[in-house]
Structure 1
Amino acid sequence: MNRITDTGLPASMEARLCLMSLLLVLAMPLAAQSPGNAGGGKQRQYTYSWLFAEEAAMAPRGGTTRGPEVTLEREPADAWQALQEPDITARERDRRAILAMAGDYRTTFDFIETIGLTPGYEPARPYRSWGTERVYVVKDTPHAVSLQHILVTRIRQDDGELSEPFVVKHWRQDWHYEDRNVQAFVAPGLWAHERLDEQDAEGRWTQSVFQVDDSPRYEASGVWVHSGDHSYWQSDQRRRPLPRREFSVRDDYQALLGSHRITITPSGWVQEEDALKLVLMDDTGPHPETPHLAREAGLSRYERIRDYDFSPGDDYWQRTGPFWSAVRDYWSGVYAQHRDFRLEDTVDGKPLFVSLFELAEAYADEPKDTLSSLSALMARAVIIEPE
């Protein structure tokens, strides 16, 4: 029997619509996103522009779609006020800074190559995207915090009407205090366990960043600094896999080597990124002659908003949350082995994230069978390297 959901649609149809939303939103940055009213609609110029480059050649990838009008939250959030309280421990202030990233946001993403490092270098087109997303607290303990990002995006259509919301489980970030076990990205599909010295972990937090399907992206270590009008965390330099905005259009480099800084402000937070585009050999080492193509700067702004309807995201997270908890548990078991591992991003000709999102939608009707399918899928996708 096909269950009827709260939307009035059969569960199988809702699952297909959710997957279509995922694919459409993930594709939008390549086809048609720009900051709209949920970010603007006007073409904006970059400060770090290439002044003498052909204008058309440097038009940002992203296009001209717009979202609805949003209302920015002008008053400092409760989480910001809690961060300012006196007489709390350094670890607790760090934890509150991390929790201050939860909430409702208009987000904008800008990336541009600022320095070319090869003979005859021609700058690539910059990238720009936007969204509206809610950041949920998944876990909150004195030593660990987990935050899940979920996009709820509406597009202004040609007739002026807003589209139905596109709901996508976006990225996740996990934070651990004085964590000595790091999952280090090495090369496409390969991660290595790294054990930090005790002194290198003291007073520091690791941030683990995960893909939309909860597979790993990268993990970095850093220290929180608090200075009254803002708090920031600076990561160490680590290899990172290519993001979707790059691997879908580039094949001339294989990794990013970079660091990032997260700054908490009264009205939201900002992530600044600084990365080299790294060319790898088959043995995962840098190319001996041209190890780096360019340096890239990235700026992601999370501006707090209010009165935006994120209820479709709430509904999705309530319906699929238990399934994604099982996925996280699977990965925790992999990490607990403290071994290197490989990840296949395609199983049976289908992208891993597509299979996982299909299982997430099936979970409510058939939880036992879905978890069995999850185990079988991940056993084929993840290969633990021999010691």
Structure 2
Amino acid sequence: MRRKAVLAIILAFTLYSHAQDKKAQDQEAIKDMCGCFEVTFNFSETFNHSNDSLYRPSETKVDKGLEYAVAIVDEDDKISIQHLLQVGRPDSPHIVKHWRQDWLFENTDFYMYNGDNEWVFETKTKDDVEGQWTQKVYQVDDSPRYEGSGTWVHVDGKTYWENTTTAPLPRREYTKRSDYNVTLRGNRQEITNYGWVHDQDNAKIIREKGKEDVVLANEKGYNTYVKVDDSRCQATIDWWKENQDKWAVVRAKWDDVYSRDKDLVLETKVDNKPLYKILFDDKVVKEEEINTTIESFVKK
């Protein structure tokens, strides 16, 4: 009996050590997405399922830019990476606060996009997310975008994470398209020897209450992040040092909204302005004004 107990302890310790080693590998992979990158964004519609003979697919989109990604939170169970876009002439660049991705270990709380600016709050069991990392992606104004849970895989010299989840229309689409209202995103983040790749297999979904989802079209996205010396992003690094305190206030307010753990519906505009345009104003810096502004966009 004593021998069995000893073997059980050894087995438990071995499994724990393996889990810790695996978690450390995961954390390293996530932080490999930090740094200065030359980015190429590629999107192309692949299959059309519309019954409309006049249907016109979205144009193929190719954009390039310089992006700096910095870990603003680096904890055991949470890594938060802020992306910043640097555009224009190298000697006089323009800096744009871009998207943010938070990685949470064994997270059980989710806001799942349901169309029409609504996110449904859902919870999973601890067993459902054992060993997994949730990627929570936020808009440029730190409002929600999409999130999903999956396991980082390290095998055959490859390191990647995959998940399929619902999301709003991308910025390149929602000002031009109104014939679908949900993007079903197949996301794959893969670490490479030159940086990383965001590989996407997306479906354009028509979602109506009480009806089955209809796939309007499919889309392929392939975004490459090629690492370059941080000196290329020095202007962005300096800009973030000057502006990070304001955006910490914005994140704190959104954390308050998310902590209510209930369905979330957001206004598209208030006083005919989208949230990002208000928050991007350099004059909007006071905590009270930021909090009031964000709250004004929360319908439910």
TM-score (ref. length: structure 1): 0.69
1:105 to 6, 28, 37: 37
Give the equivalent residue in structure 2 for 1:280.
Answer: 207
- Within a 5 Å distance, the mapping from 1:121-140 to structure 2 comes to 122-140=56-74
Identity value in percent: 35
SS of match in other structure, 1:200: coil
TM-aligned CA deviation for residue 145 of structure 1: 0.3
1:305 to 224, 228, 234: 228
Does 2:177 match 1:254? no
Compare the two structures and name the one with the higher strand fraction.
2
Alpha-carbon RMSD across the aligned residues, in angstroms, is 1.9
Distance 1:377 1:91, change over 3 A: same
Give the equivalent residue in structure 2 for 1:182.
Answer: 110
Name the aligned partner's letter for residue 338 of structure 1.
D
**Number of residues of Structure 1 aligned to a counterpart in Structure 2:** 281
TM-aligned CA deviation for residue 230 of structure 1: 2.5
When structure 1 is superposed on structure 2, of 268-277 and 340-349 the one drifting more is 340-349
TM-score (ref. length: structure 2): 0.88
The answer (yes or no) to whether the contact 2:68–2:233 under 8 Å persists in 1 is yes
Give the equivalent residue in structure 2 for 1:264.
Answer: 191
Name the aligned partner's letter for residue 300 of structure 1.
N
Does 2:291 match 1:379? no
SS of match in other structure, 1:331: helix
The answer (yes or no) to whether the contact 1:229–1:265 under 8 Å persists in 2 is no
Query: Within 2, Cα distance between the matches of 1:320 and 1:286?
Result: 45
Query: Within 2, Cα distance between the matches of 1:308 and 1:207?
Result: 28
TM-aligned CA deviation for residue 163 of structure 1: 6.8
- Within a 5 Å distance, the mapping from 1:1-387 to structure 2 comes to 89-119=21-51, 120=53, 122-155=56-89, 164-227=92-155, 229-235=157-163, 237-281=164-208, 283=209, 285-286=211-212, 291-306=214-229, 308-358=231-281, 361-362=282-283, 370-384=286-300
User: Gapped runs of 5+ residues in structure 2?
Assistant: 1-17
Query: Within 2, Cα distance between the matches of 1:300 and 1:113?
Result: 15
TM-aligned CA deviation for residue 170 of structure 1: 0.5
Question: Deviations for 1:41-84, whole angstroms, at most 9, x for unmatched residues?
Answer: xxxxxxxxxxxxxxxxxxxxxxxxxxxxxxxxxxxxxxxxxxxx
User: Gapped runs of 5+ residues in structure 1?
Assistant: 1-85, 156-161
Name the aligned partner's letter for residue 348 of structure 1.
D
Query: Within 1, Cα distance between the matches of 2:110 and 2:271?
Result: 30
Name the aligned partner's letter for residue 283 of structure 2.
A
TM-aligned CA deviation for residue 309 of structure 1: 3.1
Query: Within 2, Cα distance between the matches of 1:138 and 1:381?
Result: 25
TM-aligned CA deviation for residue 88 of structure 1: 6.0
TM-aligned CA deviation for residue 220 of structure 1: 0.9
SS of match in other structure, 1:252: coil
SS of match in other structure, 2:203: strand
Name the aligned partner's letter for residue 99 of structure 1.
K
Name the aligned partner's letter for residue 383 of structure 1.
K
Query: Within 2, Cα distance between the matches of 1:375 and 1:143?
Result: 27
